[in-house]
Amino acid sequence: MKLEDKVAIITGAAQGIGAALAVGFAQEGAKLVIADILDGKRAVADVEKAGSEAIFVKTDVTKQEECDALAKAAVARFGNIDILVNNAAIFGDIVMKPFTDVSDEEWDRLMAVNVKGPFHCCKSVFSYMKNKGGKIINISSASIMEGVPFMPHYVASKGAIMAFTRALARELGDHKINVNSIAPGFTHSEGGDRFDHNKAVPIPPLEELQLEQRCIKRAAVPEDLVGTAVFLASHMSDFISGQLIVHDGGMSMH
């Protein structure tokens, strides 16, 4: 198993992509810490069904003290932190609309979760990783390659994640910590499907818009991301850092 006896924190893991990654990591032998503002009991049960152990720690990633408590809970239960996946983000509740209609409050709230959240979590786990190494995986978005309109705050936040990944990779390399990013395209999940119904502009569903532009012409589901995440979390990627892997069926190429 590629992640045997590793301890992974995954934020936003109560559902969707985060929950799928938790099960995938569990199948590869990792112990999981499920972090979310939503109830993570179902995700814990799914990890246990997959043959591993998990705990749920309710966490608001916009608050440094809660991220610190998350890291402490992981170490208290499992003795270590080897992997951090920064997946928590505001997406499903975004309403696509002209940028002039995006309020300061919407912008600030989204940036607090999508950008400040990973910053907080990285600070929280660093002291546990710095003497032995670790893997940090930040979830960005293929929207930064496509320039998707009508949600400038979201696209800007995910562009920031790409830049943050590169800067942190430079800083943490001497500590044997790899920092990489995955940029999914539109993915069918609880949040993704909810998002696709929230539009204040007359455009078709994103799946319909993207499908013909993909090399792989089918819908994307959370489980599609598991292999890439396991690779970046495992020893197989020990000489890879600061990279962005676009995961959108070949719609974007860079």
Active site residues: 154
CB 133 within 8 A of CB 176: yes
Q: Is the dihedral of CA 52, 58, 62, 67 positive or negative?
A: negative
Q: Which residues contact 129 (CB under 8 A, 6 or more apart)?
A: 81, 82, 175, 177
Distance CA 149, CA 146 (A): 9
Q: Is 248 helix (H, G, I), strand (E, B) or coil?
A: coil
In one letter, which amino acid is 90?
I
Distance CA 247, CA 228 (A): 9
